[in-house]
Chain A
Amino acid sequence: MAAFILRRLAQSIIVMLVVGLVAFFMFQFLGDPVNQMVGVDTPVAEREALRERLGLNDPLIIRFGKFVVNAAQLEFGLSYQHKSPVTDLLLERMPATIELSMVSAVIAFALALPAGVYTGLYRNRWSSKAMLTLSLIGISVPTFLIGILFIYLFAVVLGWLPSFGRGDVVTLPGGWTTGLLTASGLKAIILPALTLGLFTLTLIMRLIRAEMLEVLRTDYIKFARARGLTNRAVNFGHALKNTLVPVITVTGLLLGNLIAFAIITESVFQWPGMGRLFLQSIQEVDLPVMSAYLVMISFLFVVLNLVVDILYYVVDPRLRVEGHGSGH
């Protein structure tokens, strides 16, 4: 177990270094930081002094080392556009994005689980087929279009829900802002969270259905039925439990995707999150923000991947047995 985790940890560190390298080169070779800091009429000698002071004349490897050390301390410099520290900008917007992604994940999972089990158990009912067809459409219609349709229907025509923003937010101790404690905040999160979660919902539902179909065909389910166990015990105690291994893996990875795809949803609903900041930074070629977002989101992805791998190991006993009979 320890060896396995160590190996995965080493791999994660390599991934982070590669991402860091991309972010570093973006910084170094696109746009000159000195040009951003001085006026047009600054003499060459002064520029050179500044370069020396900033350490821009150091060998590449030393500069990369400094970049990594700074990045590890969440130090990404000033945003070209906002003229304030990039880290503050991102941290300020992080709660909005995390909250949106988490609520979407909960909605997606809470709806996908029963829907997947139902369509797996009763595959020939017309309601199952309707759900599957609907999910195919859900995959083909792009997220932003669903968002627009939701806004038109629920905000413009019916007027039930707000179409943009986060509503009122409460600041919790520690600086975390949340919209989940106010009525307007809760109302505001419904449409974006549904929009963001829909794609994930269809994916998880289809996965659970496929896994259920697979498991229900196995011998041990037949024997469980032959033993006279109740349907509930067979379907949920034996079948569902065994479908959950791949579901956990995929859900973990989809969590990362939700945070990345929040870029689109945040743009549709003008949600004040990190994704919108990243999008603006691309349009304005705000390199510090771009590379900081890249490093932070990559870190999130790597951690999620690592957690999923370890969970996989914990959930599936077969993996543990293979590893030199340790314990079991």
Chain B
Amino acid sequence: MTDTTSPKLASAKPSLLYRIWDHELCYSFRNSPLTVAAAVVTLLLILSAVFAGFIAPHNPFDLASIDLMDSELPPAWTEDGEARFLLGTDNLGRDIYSTILYGMRISLLVGFASVVLSAVIGISAGLVAGYIGGKVDAVIMRIADIQLSFPTILIALLIDGIMRGILDREQHDAMIIPVLVLSIGISNWVQYARTVRGSTLVERNKEYVQAARIIGLHPILIMIRHVLPNVMGPVLVIATLGLAFAILTEATLSFLGVGMPPTEPSLGTLIQIGNDFLFSGLWWISIFPGMTLAVLVLAVNLLGDWLRDALNPKLR
């Protein structure tokens, strides 16, 4: 993936920037306007979430700056709206635009962390299953099959429920982000494991692996240093699509009331808060976070779709 510079180019010593620009992945990226748009949107959303503290006009968690008199104001462009609150305010007088920025930060944090957890579990299981084979392989893949026959949301809910049983209420609320990461992460490892196992089975019999085995390297070292880099391509695709899915799952859990609490809202929590006010016609409280969530997920999904096609040698 990274070492595709042709000998001709290497002799001319092109700059690193040029080599990245000229890379086939970058070429296919440049030629897909939809993907570029998706990448720009994703990047903008991630940056605005990371720098929420600087961008947001208000701090929704600073109780001193919240005025209940400002509550339930509609967006700025409507009749009763105020310029101070671009997208209106919620029932507590918090600026919707600011809460979205802060909420997206939590959504992305949980999303990224659970993708990393799923990937670590899935890649390790897949590598071990594929490289060692035999009974170990059979057991791991059997577990994967069983888990795969259940929807992820059910497994995530179940793990969350078990964690509630283990921790008491206060501990659980204090550790809600790790708990969410754990339940979403564990419920999504299977796909990584299956893909990595498949590629590992192919790589295992190649000469470089045999050579590594002959010189007496430890199997774990072979798996990590030699096999792993060669099976990472598909993992990247799964991880990208998995990020969209993890963000959705977190939003769903929070919406169902078993995720982030209203005091520390993610996008899903914001939508849930707004849901209660929908009947009073206060549509902006839930619609704007909902739109943000949909745009974020759609953009990441488009990126993942592009990556899948770009990395697929059959489609080149």
Q: A243 near B: Cβ within 8 Å?
A: no
Q: For A260, give its contact among B153, B279, B294 (CB under 8 Å).
A: B153
Q: For A285, give its contact among B154, B161, B293 (CB under 8 Å).
A: B161
Of B89-97, B125-133, B249-257, the one contacting chain A is B249-257
Q: A143 near B: Cβ within 8 Å?
A: yes
Contact with B along A287-308 (1 / 0, CB 8 A): 1001000100110011001000
Contact with A along B240-256 (1 / 0, CB 8 A): 00001000100110011
Contact in complex: B150, A301 (CB < 8 Å)? yes
- Closest residue of chain B to A23 (Cβ to Cβ) is B158
- Closest residue of chain A to B148 (Cβ to Cβ) is A253
Contact in complex: A30, B293 (CB < 8 Å)? no
Of A55-63, A86-94, A275-283, the one contacting chain B is A275-283
Q: How far, in Å, is B285 (CB) from chain A's closest CB?
A: 11
Contact in complex: B149, A305 (CB < 8 Å)? yes
Given contacts A18-B146, A257-B151, contact A163 B157 (CB under 8 A): no
Contact in complex: B151, A261 (CB < 8 Å)? yes
A148: B residues at CB distance < 8 A: 271, 275, 278, 286, 290
- Closest residue of chain B to A26 (Cβ to Cβ) is B162
Contact in complex: B301, A139 (CB < 8 Å)? yes
Q: How many A-B residue pairs have CB under 8 A?
A: 102
Contact in complex: A163, B279 (CB < 8 Å)? yes
- Closest residue of chain A to B254 (Cβ to Cβ) is A144
Given contacts A156-B278, A263-B153, contact A145 B290 (CB under 8 A): yes
Interface range on chain A (Cβ under 8 Å from partner): 35 or more
Expressed in whole angstroms, the Cα–Cα distance for A26 and B164 within the complex equals 11
Q: For A145, give its contact among B153, B161, B294 (CB under 8 Å).
A: B294
Chain B residues 247-278 with CB under 8 Å of chain A are 248, 251-252, 255-258, 271, 275, 278
Chain A residues 25-80 with CB under 8 Å of chain B are 26, 30-31
Contact with B along A1-36 (1 / 0, CB 8 A): 000000000000001001000000010001100000
From B251, B256, B297, residue with most partner A Cβ within 10 Å: B256
Which residues of B are in contact with A by a Cβ distance under 8 Å?
Answer: 146, 149-151, 153-154, 157-158, 160-162, 164-166, 244, 248, 251-252, 255-258, 271, 275, 278-279, 281, 283, 286-287, 290, 293-294, 297-298, 301
